């Protein structure tokens, strides 16, 4: 999509919703040098996420804003989602997005990415998967890992809230051992799945585990992961975005919870393969990072 695509037909301008006009006038695209893209521009540029129906204060909503602000080339980015709380935000994103089924996001993304590479051999089209931990690590684990094995050039971002939030609080593979949730009435029986490590051993060239407490750090990881996926191979970001509702926090307590976990269970983990490292250096030199 060229950023000119958001040029509104003058005849329709009068009846266009305000958010579309703002998108044309004030959104940031990769080619837009007046308003460069990045987390710093968030306060005074048009965001690609208009509104959403997540719980007030849900860290997933903030994390999605950071992710969208960090896309290196949104006009050529497709985001694939899965059923869950995140799917409530998807219809509001001003990009091509797909919500297909619960768990098949990496398979759908594989099809899309391969066809886009076939149809547009001269354009870089980025495909980013964004789904909950239930979708990524439970019902969809097969598809997630197989896309890594097959070296699909996509970035997978897991919004790890350690619970099935959208269905009312059941334990997931990512829930910590011992935690009592619905369907784990006597506490979860096995450890949190170390998905970031599985990602590494399954062929990801870049894998991080972090919380969404620091916008800049999230944006940096997203940008690096997408650039590596473009050239080298699959990348993975595990992002702790606690479900404040299910763990009983109020709207303003999500950030504190993430900060606490920064020093604890989510002390950062980062794997970058030698090829990816080399490539990121090059990107830095070219001003892409």
Ligand X SMILES: Cc1ncc(C[n+]2csc(CCOP(=O)(O)OP(=O)(O)O)c2C)c(N)n1
Beta bridge mates, 170: 164, 182
Q: Which is nearer to another protein, 97 or 209 (CB)?
A: 97
Q: How far apart are CA 218 and CA 214, in angstroms?
A: 6
Determine which residue in the list 18, 119, 189, 263 makes contact with another protein, applying CB under 8 A: 119
Residue number with CB closer to another protein (119 or 263)? 119
- Which residue stretch of 73-81, 103-111, 221-229, 237-245 sits at the interface with ligand SF4 (rule: CB under 6 A)? 237-245
Q: What is the C-alpha separation between 156 and 162, in angstroms, rounded? A: 17
Cα–Cα distances (Å) from 265 to 97, 133, 146, 219, in that order, read 32, 16, 27, 21
Q: How far is CA 245 from CA 55, 62, 85, 258, in A?
A: 8, 15, 12, 14
Pick the binder of another protein from 32, 146, 167, 261 (CB under 8 A). Answer: 146
User: Contacts with ligand X in 143-202 (CB under 6 A)?
Assistant: 159, 161, 163-167, 172
Q: Which does 244 bind (CB under 5 to 8 A by kind): ligand X, another protein, ligand SF4, none?
A: ligand SF4
DSSP class of residue 7 equals P
**Interaction partner, residue 164 (ligand SF4, ligand X, another protein, none; CB < 5-8 Å by kind):** ligand X
The alpha helices in 47-168, defined as continuous H runs, are 59-70, 105-119, 133, 141-149
With CB under 5 to 8 Å by kind, the binding choice for 55 among ligand X, another protein, ligand SF4, none is ligand SF4
- For CA atoms 81, 241, 276, 71, the dihedral sign is positive
Tell which one of 48, 55, 62, 227 touches ligand SF4 (CB under 6 A): 55
For binding to ligand SF4 (CB under 6 A), which residues are involved?
54-55, 58, 60, 85, 161, 165, 243-246
């Amino acid at each position: 999509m060229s950023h000119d695509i958001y040029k509104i037909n003058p005849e329709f301008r009068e009846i266009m919703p305000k958010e579309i006009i703002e998108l044309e006038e004030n959104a940031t695209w990769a080619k837009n040098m007046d308003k460069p893209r990045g987390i710093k521009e968030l306060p005074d540029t048009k965001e690609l996420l208009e509104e959403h129906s997540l719980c007030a204060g849900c860290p997933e909503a903030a994390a999605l804003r950071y992710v969208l602000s960090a896309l290196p080339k949104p006009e050529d980015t497709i985001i694939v989602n899965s059923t869950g709380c995140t799917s409530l935000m998807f219809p509001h994103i001003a990009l091509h997005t797909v919500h297909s089924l619960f768990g098949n996001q990496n398979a759908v993304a594989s099809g899309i990415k391969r066809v886009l590479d076939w149809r547009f051999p001269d354009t870089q089209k980025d495909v980013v998967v964004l789904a909950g931990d239930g979708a990524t690590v439970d019902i969809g684990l097969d598809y997630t890992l197989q896309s890594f094995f097959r070296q699909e050039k996509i970035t997978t971002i897991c919004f790890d809230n350690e619970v099935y939030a959208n269905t009312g609080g059941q334990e997931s593979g990512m829930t910590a051992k011992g935690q009592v949730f619905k369907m784990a009435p006597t506490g979860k029986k096995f450890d949190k799945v170390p998905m970031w490590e599985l990602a590494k051993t399954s062929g990801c060239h870049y894998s991080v585990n972090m919380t969404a407490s620091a916008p800049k750090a999230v944006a940096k990881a997203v940008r690096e992961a997408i650039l590596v996926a473009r050239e080298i191979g699959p990348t993975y970001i595990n992002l702790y975005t606690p479900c404040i509702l299910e763990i009983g926090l109020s709207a303003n307590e999500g950030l504190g919870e993430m900060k606490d976990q920064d020093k604890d269970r989510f002390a950062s983990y980062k794997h970058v393969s030698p090829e990816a490292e080399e490539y990121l250096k090059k990107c830095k030199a070219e001003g892409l990072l």
